[in-house]
Amino acid sequence: KIKAIILAGGSGERFWPLSNSKTPKQFLKIFSNKSLIRETYERLVLKLDPKDIFVITAEKHFDLTKKELPELPEENIILEPIPRNTAPACTLATLVADKNEVVFILPADHYIPDVENFWKTIFKAVNAAKEYDGLFTLGIKPTRPETGYGYIESKNEVEENIFKVKAFREKPNVETAIDFIKKGNFYWNSGMFIWKKDVFFEEMEKYNSNIIKKLKDVDPRNIEKLRKIMPEVEKISIDYALMEKSKKVYTIKSNFSWSDVGNWLSVRELKGYSDENENVKVVEGKNIYVSSKKFVGVIGLSNIVVVETDNGILVANEEKVQKVREIVSELKEKG
Ligand code: GDD
Ligand code: MG
């Protein structure tokens, strides 16, 4: 028996014009007619009872969360009055577990098509978390020097595909990432964590006693109390706060396909180009990705992303899609 906790408090700016601050990435329908958080929930409910699935999200996204997950008991939605990043969110959410229970924390916004392999790996991690009293990560074989991920340096193999971790490095620069990949014993951190409640609290106590002091006796459903406390809680991700520091980190080598779907380029990578789509015509160009209900014609351009929604139209060089943030901040200024 475990508790699964979906982290769903991020803000999404990289998917404009599909997203805006009212609908961050986890609430977007990127790959199907279901939102990413809905897909995450459906993946979990294959093996878990809804009463053991929790979501921690922003107070302002309560209605959206309820609408996406109507089967989830309402008291399983934990609300944060203000975002404090993932270390406080993991701490608050872990409070719902029993002392020795294993907790599985996962992002709301990942693409994981291979459910069977995903669950095999999770069960392996759950058993290992009980046996080794460690903080378990899932290590993904890196395919490019991505700087938006954490890197896990593996040490000795304690059991088949279960490694002790030598070091955890969150979001290195590109030179360091290239170096890591060359070495061969480095993995991407998938952003999913498995640990026993008491092991997690002991490790947090060691390295983040301030966060623990403020949160350990709170009822995570007492929003009034959280309104008072949260502004004083440090804003830091679990990767920096705990994973880089703890000496009890392990990783399970994982081979299910996985993507954080960070921006339009990763969507294009997963879906492929649209040059041959029925609603697209490309003249003297190639490698166009189109997301639009309208007919789109492209002339003399290559490696372009075109996204059209009711919010606006994006036309971008695919290598520069990260800069969509600059458009979003401009829009914010204009209100
Ligand atoms: N409840 C809550 N509150 N959730 C949050 C908050 C918060 O303040 N901030 C972020 N989240 C949620 C996001 O919605 C997402 O589902 C998850 O926590 C991870 O946050 P991201 O902001 O997406 O993290 P990241 O992608 O930059 O980095 C993490 O994931 C990578 C893999 O995708 C790290 O763990 C990296 O090491 C890892 O490689
Ligand atoms: Mg992410």
Q: Does 27 sit in the ligand 1 pocket, CB within 6 Å?
A: no
Indicate which ligand has the atom closest to the C-alpha of 259: 1
User: 332, exposed or middle or buried, with CB in 10 Å at 0-12, 13-18, 19+?
Assistant: exposed
Mutate to test the pocket of ligand 1, among 237, 240, 261, 322 (most ligand atoms within 8 A of CB): 237
Q: Does 137 sit in the ligand 1 pocket, CB within 6 Å?
A: no
- List all residues 6 or more positions away from 28 whose beta carbon is below 8 Å from its beta carbon: 12, 15, 18, 19, 35, 36
Q: Does 8 sit in the ligand 1 pocket, CB within 6 Å?
A: yes
- Residue among 262, 279, 282, 281 nearest 270 (CA): 262
Angle at alpha carbon of residue 112, lines to 133 and 66, rounded to 5°? 90
pLDDT band at 180 (very low <50, low <70, confident <90, very high): very high
Separation between Cα atoms, residue 333 and residue 135, nearest integer Å? 42
Does ipTM surpass 0.95 in this model? yes
Does residue 102 surpass a pLDDT of 70?
A: yes
Which residue's CA is minimally distant from atom 20 of ligand 1? 10
Indicate which ligand has the atom closest to the C-alpha of 239: 1
pTM: 0.93
pLDDT band at 262 (very low <50, low <70, confident <90, very high): confident
User: Per DSSP, what are the bridge partners of residue 309?
Assistant: 312
**Does 142 sit behind a cis peptide bond, omega within 30 degrees of 0 on the bond before it?**
no
For the stretch 282-320, pLDDT in tens is: 999 999 999 999 999 999 999 999 999 998 999 999 999
Does residue 108 surpass a pLDDT of 90?
A: yes
Q: So what's the pLDDT on residue 151?
A: 98
Q: Does 109 sit in the ligand 1 pocket, CB within 6 Å?
A: yes
Q: How far is the CA of 280 from the centre of ligand 2 (A)?
A: 30
For the stretch 61-76, pLDDT in tens is: 999 999 999 999 999 9
Q: So what's the pLDDT on residue 335?
A: 67
Q: How far is the CA of 282 from the centre of ligand 1 (A)?
A: 37
Does residue 3 surpass a pLDDT of 90?
A: yes
